Amino acid sequence: MAGFEQAWQELAQIGGGGAGGYHRFAWTPVDLALRGWFQEQAARRGMAYELDRNGNQWAWWGVPGPGAVVTGSHLDSVPGGGAFDGPLGVVSAFLAVDELRERGVTPTRPLAVVNFADEEGARFGVACVGSRLLTGILAPDDARALRDGDEVSLAEAMRAAGADPSTLGRDEQALSRIGAFVELHIEQGRGLVDLNAPVGVASAIWPHGRWRCTFHGEANHAGTTRLADRHDPMLPFASTVLAARNVAERLGALATFGKVRIDPNGTNAIPSRVDAWLDGRAPDAETVRAMVDEITDAARTAATGHGVRVEVVPESTTPVVRFGDELRDRITTALGGAPALPTGAGHDAGILSASVPTAMLFVRNPTGVSHSPAEHATVEDCVTGVAALATVLEDLACE
């Protein structure tokens, strides 16, 4: 317990915290401090440190090579993020190494702890950049050209942080060493609370996507335009938000409008245009499609009633991830029967699952809140998570 609290406190100092949450963005001075922390943790344990071609950090117990059992997560955060999303997996990974050593375990396969670069995509807009580059899902030129809110490119940001952007791209050598990847992560919902279990195993990541809905109306004076004469795009947008909620509820899916842009955005002006972004998620791709179709129909019907034109354009879609039965069954057995549960959130493990055997452990989150300072796990559950991870690593790395 004290070991966990001490390790946790060291990391908690970096990049904000408190009521405003963490601001830990890729390739900033805060990120460099987090990376320094990782390197220090590797050194303290006598683990060989390595930075791969895509900015991901590795710490090795044993000689790096094929068949390695790899665990870890990410250290970056969303704006105003919680303390646990990402860092819990990295801290737990190092503490699991300590626990294995205390148990007197010597792995027969190499074991590595990893910190994936820029998982949240908070600065450059694309999530899981480090794992997408490693697996070749993201093209190096596209990555280098990504820009942050100040028009700084990823390539420039990496150079400013002392990293080399010219080496980005699918890394066959790094990938071929991974025998299995297990990511421990705080649960981002209340599944384990309902199951009354501290630790669970991921079954799947729901397919999800983003759609831009644009409502074209007519700008006019808020004081002189009769209600009957208006083409106010805000009204069909409002109906669409309510429709999205109803459709999602009926289909057992999730729909969120979390971002909206209004032109001209004046208190005394009827807007000319509303751009709104729909985030849609469901257990399977058919349900996502059906939900977005219904929301689109509702938007069209509402828009017609107000003399407003609407367009719905997909911006990104991510297919379902089903973690392999074989690894999941083995982990579940090693843990003496932990519950399996799906999640609506994306992870590096989801990206890696297309290339290597991958699994995830979730630690209970009593509030179910994530991407917010309210995100939480008890010290007891975190310690249980470390022990579970150590048991899984022991089972996989000591054949």
Q: Smallest distance from the beta carbon of 86 to Zn ion, in angstroms?
A: 4
Residue 27 or 116 with smaller CB distance to Zn ion: 116
Q: Hey, how many other C-beta atoms are within 10 angstroms of the C-beta on 330? A: 17
- Which residues fall within 8 angstroms of residue 359, CB to CB, at 6 or more apart? 180, 181, 182, 183, 201, 202, 323, 324, 327, 328, 331, 349, 392
Q: Smallest distance from the beta carbon of 273 to Zn ion, in angstroms?
A: 34
Residue 95 or 298 with smaller CB distance to Zn ion: 95
Q: Smallest distance from the beta carbon of 362 to Zn ion, in angstroms?
A: 11
Q: With CA atoms as reference, report the closest residue to 3 among 73, 94, 113, 76.
A: 94
Residue 131 or 296 with smaller CB distance to Zn ion: 131
Q: Smallest distance from the beta carbon of 95 to Zn ion, in angstroms?
A: 18
- Which residues of this chain interact with Zn ion, rule CB under 5 A? 85-86
Residue 181 or 215 with smaller CB distance to Zn ion: 181
Q: Smallest distance from the beta carbon of 305 to Zn ion, in angstroms?
A: 41
Distance CA 189, CA 221 (A): 44
Own/partner contacts of 293-301, CB < 8 Å, gap of 24 or more, are 294/243, 294/247, 295/240, 295/243, 295/244, 295/247, 295/255, 298/239, 298/240, 298/243, 298/244, 298/247, 299/213, 299/215, 299/236, 299/237, 299/239, 299/240, 299/243
Distance CA 175, CA 177 (A): 5
Residue 81 or 280 with smaller CB distance to Zn ion: 81
Residue 86 or 280 with smaller CB distance to Zn ion: 86
Q: Smallest distance from the beta carbon of 74 to Zn ion, in angstroms?
A: 6
